[in-house]
Amino acid sequence: MTYLFISDLHLSPDYPRLVRGFFALLKEYQHQQTQLYILGDWFNAWIGDDYTAPWLDEIVTALQHFHAAGNQVYFQVGNRDFALGQKFLDQFQGILLPDSHVLEINQLKFRLEHGDALCTDDIGYQRFKKVIRNPLVLSFLRKTPLSFRTKLANGFRKKSHAAQQFKSYEVMDVNPQAVAQALANVDILIHGHTHRAAIHEQEGKKRIVLGDWKEDSAQILVIDPQQQDLILKLSTFNY
């Protein structure tokens, strides 16, 4: 059994190399009895599980083969694909996890999350998240036409990009107190979102930040539970 953790792929038809990179990852780990954990921002935008397109059909087919080979896909929503639901994952027997999830490997407790909830200093974003992730708002949006949701998603991306130009590094990074709280009852925290791949030590515990996917490589975490002492280090996956 292999545990594989990735985040922030931002897949879209506009960046076919990233999609090919994802296919390469599935091929690399298809025959290793892999539990694949995707910790948010799998897609650059998600307008609803009723959205279909040829490039997305190819991804679903690849994941169906991946699952048929004895592997399992788990997914947590991110700030870009928070509307992705179990309906889409059902196509390849994927499992939707809650915003935070505790996984135990070799008596060590790992907390998994996307990471945006840790950036509590970004008050504007946290307010927006509270509104847009409200179940009533999501339910209403899912009933609107795809064309409307597409325009809305494009507008959100533009506003987000513009807002980031005026935010400091510290505001967009994790808050130390939020991290301490997340680590309170676990040994290791794994997240993405900040795009700053690294392994941090905090009071004898570890915070592992997964990297965002580039044009030809990504920083991922692979854990082999057969090792007596788990090796926790980020690996570069080239595609």
pLDDT of 167: 62
Segment (H or E) for 238: strand 234-238
Lowest mean pLDDT across 114-118, 212-216, 223-227? 223-227
pLDDT of 157: 74
pLDDT digits (tens, 9 = 90+) for 132-183: 999 999 999 899 998 999 888 888 777 776 666 656 666 779 999 999 999 9
pLDDT cut 90: percent of the chain above it = 85
Q: How far apart are CA 190 and CA 124, in angstroms?
A: 24
**If you average pLDDT over every residue of the chain, what do you get?**
94
pLDDT digits (tens, 9 = 90+) for 57-94: 999 999 999 999 999 999 999 999 999 999 999 999 99
Q: What is the DSSP letter of 68?
A: H
Res 19 pLDDT > 70:
yes
> Between β-strands 34-39 and 72-76, what pairing exists: parallel, antiparallel or unpaired?
parallel
pLDDT of 2: 97
Domain boundaries, the chain: 2-238
Average pLDDT of 100-117?
Answer: 97
User: Do residues 93 and 72 make contact, with C-beta atoms less than 8 angstroms apart?
Assistant: yes
User: Do residues 210 and 191 make contact, with C-beta atoms less than 8 angstroms apart?
Assistant: yes
How many whole angstroms from its chain centre is CA 12? 14
Q: How far apart are CA 164 and CA 167, in angstroms?
A: 5
Average pLDDT of 201-212?
Answer: 95
More confident residue, 221 or 166: 221
- Specify the pTM: 0.94
pLDDT of 150: 87
Q: How far apart are CA 43 and CA 157, in angstroms?
A: 12
Sole residue written with tokens 């036409």: 145
The matching CATH number, chosen from 3.50.50.60, 2.40.10.10, 1.10.1330.10, 3.60.21.10, for 2-238 is 3.60.21.10
Altogether, the residues listed in the chain come to a count of 239
